Structure 1
């Protein structure tokens, strides 16, 4: 089966996940390697016109929430990181297969996706608190670190009228975490690479997205009654 084209629509946030073939801690000082990849990410995002709203980097994966300026923006960032890492690690294949991505509905799923990706280090047992993991946007979102490469999404700004309010409200939401049902929706959207949002959002993508935004229903199409059958009733 031919793989689907990358799902893209202009001016919308994308959630992307790229897994590494070799853990970044395998060569020794994993922290130094994460520092380097984070620096490359900032440079590459600026170069390729990708506005990063949230990110998380662990030893086995990179997660991004970003709005690219064009259809190839996120792919260009991932490819550039792959070339840099391949040269540094002296390996051929950096990423385990094609990176996954999905379109995200603003106003409904941006904040859950941000919290989901920023709490990955907690789920992996790498940190006791998301804001203590410095290789993510969590510290910046709660006011514990400089913004760095971040371009905060409007949904984050809606968390409060002042920076203090936004940071406090976001910290409270991050402490609550993402409901299991919502986490499952996010992971399913990433795995299937279909749009993450409600029916109205998916319908709004018709004519603007690079391909069909939702999976087709399984099974054969419903058979339409023939005219003579209707007349016989």
Structure 2
């Protein structure tokens, strides 16, 4: 079966997830493993080179999840490839990823902030920590204003800025949202759209997005079309 083209629409953020290979997972088992800070250094340095604005990220032994806005359809694929090459050289191994990355385009004002929360709760879902702020290899601490967790290259999404009028308000409100987590239905919907590589939003958003997207943004109706 032919590979499905990448879903892209100019000006929209994407939530992407890529699984690590078994050999890479073994190298990342230790929380203080050297590849973690190296990956963050590469992400901060390479994202601008590939015209990607990073809004959030989380790296665990199993996978890497990023919320970012690419300037071109080739921006995110080239960034992930560059990260893979650097990590492979660091670990002196073959392929560091277990296949291609998955992606979804979440609707601004409705699904971007939940997608960011879903991303930063990734280490909690993997039972690595009990709360998102306890995991050092994600953007959670930066968004909640935890000490010593500032990354100058992280570009907060406009939906994050709506959490409050001042930095303190935004951080406090976002910390509360992150602590509360997502309804199970929202969690499942994000996971389903990400794995299926479909857009995430209401009917009006889907219709508008379809006008500029590189391919179909949601699954077609199953079965044969009805006879007229």
TM-score range, shorter chain: over 0.9
Instruction: After the TM superposition, list the runs of 4 or more consecutive aligned residues in structure 1 that deviate by more than 6 angstroms.
Output: none
Cα shift readout 1:115-168 (whole Å, capped 9, x = no counterpart):
111011112222222112121110000001214321111110000000000000
Structure 2 residue aligned with 1:151:
155
Structure 1 residue aligned with 2:171:
167
TM-score (norm 2): 0.94
Alignment of 1:69-108 (within 5 A): 69-108=71-110
Identify the match of residue 118 of structure 2 among 116, 119, 124. Answer: 116
TM-score (norm 1): 0.92
Please identify, of 84-93 and 196-205, the stretch whose mean Cα deviation from structure 2 is larger. Answer: 84-93
* Structure 1 position 77, deviation (Å): 0.9
Cα shift readout 1:166-223 (whole Å, capped 9, x = no counterpart):
0000001001101110011001101110101111111001231001111101011122
Alignment of 1:14-25 (within 5 A): 14-22=14-22, 24=24
Distance in 2 (alpha carbons) for counterparts of 1:25 and 1:210:
33
Structure 1 residue aligned with 2:47:
45
Structure 1 residue aligned with 2:180:
176
* Structure 1 position 30, deviation (Å): 4.8
Structure 2 residue aligned with 1:228:
none
* Structure 1 position 23, deviation (Å): 5.7
Structure 1 residue aligned with 2:7:
7
* Structure 1 position 86, deviation (Å): 1.4
* Structure 1 position 76, deviation (Å): 0.9
User: Which secondary structure does the structure 2 equivalent of 1:79 belong to?
Assistant: helix
User: Which secondary structure does the structure 2 equivalent of 1:205 belong to?
Assistant: helix
Cα shift readout 1:12-67 (whole Å, capped 9, x = no counterpart):
01000011003646247552211111111111112111001111011111000000
Contact 2:35 2:87 in 1 (8 A): no
Which runs of 5 or more residues in structure 1 are unaligned?
225-233
Which runs of 5 or more residues in structure 2 are unaligned?
none
User: Which secondary structure does the structure 2 equivalent of 1:166 belong to?
Assistant: helix
Q: Highest Rg: 1 or 2?
A: 1
Equivalent pairs, count: 224
Distance in 1 (alpha carbons) for counterparts of 2:151 and 2:160:
13
Structure 2 residue aligned with 1:58:
60
